Structure 1
C-alpha cells in the first residue's frame, strides 16, 4: 500500500476500497478491482484475480517503462545451409 499498510484478507481490501474518496472510487481500475473481489467472495473464483485487480488499481499512476538493456539475447543464431 502507498501508506505502508498491507492488505492481508479480502475484507481488508474491500474496506480499503469503500473508504476511498468518491472521485478515486469511481476510477475504472477500482471498479474492476471491486468486481474481481466480488467474483472471488461470492462465487469462489481464483483469489489471484482479486490480487491482480487491486495491485493494478493501486499502481495505476505508475508508468511502465521498457528497459532494452535487460533484454537477453538468444543463446545462438541458427546456422543456415547457405551460410556454410
Structure 2
C-alpha cells in the first residue's frame, strides 16, 4: 500500500479536463491556484485535510471531501418550498375507482 502523498483517492476528482488521482495531484492543484482563491477558507481547510491525511495516514475520503467542498463552495442548492406533496387524503380504494 502506498503511503504519503502518492496515495490515490478511492474515486478520482474531475475538474474540467483535469483529473486529480493522488493526494499529490490535489496538493499541486491547490498550490497552483491564484493567491486570492488559494487563501479562501475552503481551500485552506482542504489543504489542512490533505496534510492530516498524509501525515497521520488517515482515510483519503477526508481529503477528497475537503477538495470537493472547496470546489463547490459557490454552489447554493435551490430550496423548493412546495416540496413533495403529502399523500394523505388522496388515497383511493379499489372500490372507488
TM-score normalised to structure 1 length: 0.75
User: How far apart are the structure 2 equivalents of 1:50 and 1:27?
Assistant: 16
Paired residues, what number? 75
1:20 corresponds in structure 2 to 33
Distance 1:45 1:17 in 2: 19
Q: Which runs of 5+ in 1 are unaligned?
A: 77-84
Partner of 1:54: 67
Q: How far apart are the structure 2 equivalents of 1:25 and 1:72? A: 43
Q: Which runs of 5+ in 2 are unaligned?
A: 1-13, 89-97
Distance in 2, matches of 1:39 and 1:17, equals 15
Match of 1:45 among 58, 65, 69: 58
Over residues 35-61 of structure 1, what are the superposed CA-to-partner deviations in whole Å (9 max), with x where a residue is unaligned?
A: 000010011111111000000001111
The TM-score with structure 2 as length reference comes to: 0.66
What is the CA RMSD across the aligned residues, in angstroms?
Answer: 2.1
